[in-house]
Amino acid sequence: MYLQLSITILIWLSVIAIISLSISVLLSQRSSFFKVLYSFSVLIFFFTLGALNLSSKDPIYNKSHFSNHFTQGKEQIISIKLIDRLHPNAYNDRFYALVNQVDGIKVEGKVLVLFKKSDSINYKLGHKLLVYDDISQASDERNPGDFNYKEYLRLIDVYGQIYVDKNHVLNLSRDEDQSWIVNLRDRLMNSLANSGLKDKPLGIIQALILGQRNNVDQSVTQSFRDAGVIHILALSGLHVGIILLILRRLTNGIRSFKYGTWLQTIVIISLLWVFALITGMSPSILRAVTMFSFIAVGMNVNRKASIFHSLALSAFVLLLFNPKLLFHVGFQLSYTAVIAIVLIQPILYNFISIRWKAIDYFWQIGTVTIAAQIGVAPLSLFYFHQFPGLFLLGNMLLLPILPLIIGLSILLLVILLIRVPSDWLVELLNLSLNWIVKVVEKISSYDDFIIKNIHLDLIELILIYGILLGIALFFYRSVRKSRKERVLTKKPGYSLHMALFAVIGFVGFQSFKILKPDMSTFMLMHQASGSVISIHNKDEVLLLIDFHKMDSSRFHTALNRIKSSSVYRNRTIKIDSLQNKVKFNKSEIIIIDESGVISDYVKTPVILLSHSPQIHLDKVISKLEPHTIIADGSNYRNYVTRWKATCEKRNVRFLSTYEVGAINLYHLEAHKQN
């Protein structure tokens, strides 16, 4: 996910940057070379500063991190505290937790904790648990193109997971010293739950105001995503900006006092950070409140602060404390959207001059929406592989009334806290939010307008942003010079040249992909529910699946997971049944399944063990004389461990998809020849 350099190299780079920076400052007046050296030195200095900051947070440099005090696969006594609730999956309730002790040793660090829903224990934030369990690692990229969940957790400083069985919970207690913020959030959540709000409006308000999306119906979330308005449910800069404007209106009276301007600024920023604390200090809220704190200072001291300065300062502060935020999808989308709005919206807005204020208001909303979508579209395709075609319609309908909904929701919270009758407000919010859900569901029902299965490589992503940035900067400068002049009359500058080079690079990269010879692969996939072999030849992919051994739901789940992989994009996929013998090149692979039956005791180079067969592997090796034995993900782990020991004893190569992920069987031919 990101380049990791040793601490020694980074320190030397920092020293070199500081020396060159000092020299360039002293001699910058003598030559333009030193001015260039100054800019380059500043760039290198901040790069190494960020890299050092990132490396210093690695657990290997923290002796008190729990990863340095536990043994993989060994059950130990672990003390944890639940700090954040995640949306549950089909089988487990999920939390993030702090690790306080391992076998009585004080440690620190964060893990993912999973509780079986069948345990019927109502775990809550602030609960302290003493468990006898082991800390395992999340699954990484087992198959080509898979989502690397382990790397994702590392980016948010989660370095392990614990599957907690209720029989392994030695002690459960409530943290009596938890902060008043957590207690206030719980009180607000309970007040909303008991206010008379319907399920869907309740979930939306909890997401809008408290940042708690766990209670939002999954169908509602999917509808908002397909309609291109999912950002309304994700508490972020949009909501913080609206709250900032509301707070400015409510506190304008403070400005009449001595030092009122600064006092108003302090009050607004303080309330924004209290709001961030109540919502749980999620990364999206943290970056939004940080950015709008800088904007609030600029607005309230009557100085026209550059939005680019505010963005740069907020990003610098956030990355200084947590450099891994740079690799968060939300961080990238948020800042890209704001930059796109600042650069592209004035260009779009100035194409049409509207005199009527009401129409002009909707035109502004439309141009803001289009600009934001232009900015985030490449990232959305890169990460999510789909784009909502009706995003403009959804945003034009919902964004004008969003400030009213947020204002009424905040008013409801205040009324509930002071225990004043609120039936009329609850009914109003029920009606309005149910209407919003129906509108969004209607928009999302037009599947033909949802562009799916589009994949971008990292190089393509960079080149597309090079094109967009070059064009946007060219038009933006023209608009800034004269609002009335047509932007196309201006002479091209460096920005347009940059866009042209990016276009040439993009076309060249596409040509390279088309002309690049397509390597054939014969891949055994890692699949827990069964055995899957993928034969990839040119534009076709043949999947050999033992689907007769899977139930219908597992088969479709496995198939959809494989099809969603970037490796199989733009390929024709065919499916066939996996037999007990599969030929590849001049060799063949024999599959021994749960029956343990071997139809033909002919010597074979490769054996695949599937579905935990009850066999005496030592005898099988003696009769078939394989050079390689493979165990896929359908086997019990303890069987795999036993087979591995047998193969080591017999000097036979053993591969497990649990350990190495998908295996290219063509590579086994090379191993045999060696």
pLDDT of residue 661: 85
Residues of 568-607 as b/e, b for ≥16 C-beta within 10 angstroms?
A: beeeeeeeeebebebebeebebbbbbeeeebeeeeebbbb
pLDDT of residue 303: 56
Q: What is the rounded distance in angstroms from the CA atom of residue 520 to the CA atom of residue 527?
A: 21
Closest CA to 343 of 368, 309, 380, 316: 368
pLDDT of residue 489: 43
Write out pLDDT tens, residues 229-264: 888 887 777 788 888 888 888 888 888 888 888 888
Which one-letter amino acid corresponds to residue 27?
L
Q: What is the rounded distance in angstroms from the CA atom of residue 42 to the CA atom of residue 18?
A: 8
Sorted by sequence, the CB contacts under 8 Å of residue 126 that are 6+ apart come out as 81, 82, 174, 175, 178, 182
pLDDT of residue 487: 44
Strand, helix or coil for residue 243: helix
Which one-letter amino acid corresponds to residue 62?
N
Model pTM score: 0.77
Q: Is residue 549 within 8 Å of 654, Cβ to Cβ?
A: no
Write out pLDDT tens, residues 30-74: 666 666 777 777 777 777 777 777 777 777 677 888 888 887 778
- Give φ, ψ of 162 to 5 degrees: -125, 120
- Give φ, ψ of 228 to 5 degrees: 80, 20
pLDDT of residue 585: 67
Q: What is the rounded distance in angstroms from the CA atom of residue 380 to the CA atom of residue 370?
A: 14
pLDDT of residue 549: 63
Closest CA to 146 of 517, 532, 464, 516: 532
**What are the residue ranges in the chain where pLDDT is below 50?**
1-2, 482-490, 670, 673-674
Compute the radius of gyration of the chain from its Cα atoms: 29
Provide the strand spans (E) within 134-208.
Answer: 158-164, 169-174
Element (H, E) at 26: helix 7-27
pLDDT of residue 3: 52
Q: Looking up tokens 């999920």, which residue turns up?
A: 94
Residues of 24-43 as b/e, b for ≥16 C-beta within 10 angstroms?
A: beeeeeeeeebeebbeebee
**612, two tokens:** 């935990």
Closest CA to 164 of 190, 136, 191, 203: 136
pLDDT of residue 216: 85
Q: What is the rounded distance in angstroms from the CA atom of residue 387 to the CA atom of residue 377?
A: 7
Q: What is 66-103 written as a DSSP string?
A: GGGS--TT--EEEEEEEEEEPPP-SSEEEEEEEEEEET
Provide the strand spans (E) within 45-184.
Answer: 76-85, 92-102, 105-106, 110-116, 127-133, 158-164, 169-174
Strand, helix or coil for residue 619: helix
Sorted by sequence, the CB contacts under 8 Å of residue 14 that are 6+ apart come out as 45, 48, 49, 52
Write out pLDDT tens, residues 569-614: 666 778 888 888 887 766 778 888 888 877 666 788 889 999 899 9
